[in-house]
């Protein structure tokens, strides 16, 4: 299954609610990912541009989009960013394929 990096920023109201009553968000989010056919591998709280970071597997891009849409629609985050991840083997295959693609930049 494809892997994805998800970064999210909680709204001030969501962060205030968690300060009042801390929640095991990975357990809650993991259940949503599983309902969509995926698996959460790891999750972290962070500081900086994003408050939470996780790595998950999803069956396909459609399922990943469904997760992102449901989180966005829930109103608890002000930003969510999803990055598809490639294994090194997949990346090397892509490099070999790119080398044979014949792309020419403008002006050549």
pLDDT tens sequence across 1-16: 999 999 999 999 999 9
- Binned at pLDDT 50, 70 and 90, residue 108 comes out as confident
In the three-class reduction of DSSP (H, G, I as helix; E, B as strand; rest coil), residue 25 is classed as: helix
Cβ proximity of 68 and 76 under 8 Å: no
Cβ proximity of 70 and 6 under 8 Å: no
Q: Average pLDDT of the chain?
A: 96
Model pTM score = 0.89
> What CA–CA distance (Å, rounded) separates 44 from 26?
9
Cβ proximity of 55 and 4 under 8 Å: yes
Percentage of the chain with pLDDT > 90? 96
- Sorted by where each begins, the domain ranges of the chain are 3-99
| Superfamily covering domain 3-99 | Dimeric alpha+beta barrel (3.30.70.1060)
Of all helices (H) and strands (E), which one includes residue 61?
helix 61-74
């Amino acid at each position: 299954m494809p892997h994805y990096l998800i970064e999210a920023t909680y709204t001030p109201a969501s962060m205030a609610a968690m300060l009042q009553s801390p929640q095991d968000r990975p357990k809650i989010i993991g259940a949503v990912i599983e309902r969509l056919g995926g698996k959460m591998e790891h999750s972290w709280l962070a500081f900086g541009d994003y408050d939470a970071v996780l790595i998950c597997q999803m069956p396909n891009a459609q399922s990943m989009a469904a997760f992102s849409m449901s989180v966005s629609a829930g109103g608890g985050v002000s930003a969510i960013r999803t990055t598809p991840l490639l294994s090194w083997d997949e990346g090397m295959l892509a490099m070999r394929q790119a080398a044979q693609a014949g792309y020419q930049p403008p002006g050549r």
